[in-house]
Amino acid sequence: MSVIEAIKHAAAYSQVNVNIVLINSEELNENNIFQFFENINAILVPGGFGDRGIEGKILAIKYARENNIPFLGLCLGLQLSVIEFARNVCNLKEANSTEFDINTKYPVIDLIEYQKNIINRGGTMRLGNWPCKLSSDSKVFKFYNKEEFLERHRHRYEVNNAYKDILSEYGLKFSGTSPDHNLVEIIEIPKLKYFVACQFHPEFKSRPNNPHPLFIGLVKSCIE
C-alpha cells in the first residue's frame, strides 16, 4: 500500500493521472513478458523476502534495462537489479544472492560481516534511518538536490563490495553509499533514461504534500 500511495503522490505532484498495474512475477517468462509490459511506461520492483517469484522479477528488470523503460527498484529490487546486471552484462551467469543460493559461485548479494555470526536473527536487520551520501554527478541528484540525507531501512542482505569493481567497469554506477562508502544505498545506469534502485524504502517517507524524490524521478521519466 505504501508503494502504491507513493506513486500517487509523485503523480499528483507532476500533475498527471497514473494507472497502476499489479503483475504477479511468478507468471512471467521469456515467452509472455512482452504481453505483460506492452503498454507499460515504467516498471517498479518492490521489497520482499524469500525466493518466491525471484526469477520473474529479474526477468522484468532485464526487460526494463534492455528496452530503456524507466525503472525503480526498492530494497530487494536493488539486490535483484545487481544480480541481473551481473548475470547479463558482466557475464557472471551464476550470480545470485546467498539468501536464495548459499553456494552461489558469484555472491554479488551477501550478508554483511556482522550479520554472518548472528544465529537468533529476530529483529537484527539493518533497521531505521541510515545516512546516505549521494554523488553530485548522479542522475538522481537533481531530484534530491542535496548530497546527504537519511533514509529508512529494513533488510539484512547487502551488495557484496568484492564485486563493485567489475559492476562499475561494465557501467553500473554506485551513486549513493553510506558516508564511509562501505554500504551501497543507490545504484543507477547513467546511459539509460531512468534506471535507479535503492537499498532503502523511500515509500516510507513519501507524503501527499511531499512526495519522495525517487518516485518523482520515475514519474517524470515517464512523462518525458
Domain limits, the chain: 2-223
Is position 132 annotated as part of the catalytic site? no
- 8 A C-beta contact, residue 115 and residue 67: no
Of 9, 75, 212, 222, the active-site residue reads: 75
Q: Which of 158, 147, 140, 130 shows the shortest CA–CA distance to 212?
A: 140
* Tens digits of residue pLDDT in 119-172: 555 556 678 888 999 999 999 999 999 999 999 988 889 999 999 999 999 999
Overall pTM surpassing 0.85 (yes/no): yes
Q: Which CATH superfamily is domain 2-223 in?
A: Class I glutamine amidotransferase (GATase) domain (3.40.50.880)
Task: Tell me the three cell numbers of residue 159.
Answer: 551488495
Answer yes or no: 151 catalytic: no
Q: Give residue 127's pLDDT.
A: 81
Task: Say how far apart CA 85 and CA 177 lie, in whole Å.
Answer: 19
Catalytic residue among 158, 185, 188, 203: 203
> How large a percentage of the chain has pLDDT more than 90?
87
Q: How far apart are CA 122 and CA 144, in angstroms?
A: 33
State pLDDT tens for residues 38-47: 999 999 999 9
Place of cell 511468478: 26
pLDDT of residue 115: 53
Q: pLDDT by residue (tens digit) across 25-38?
A: 999 999 999 999 99
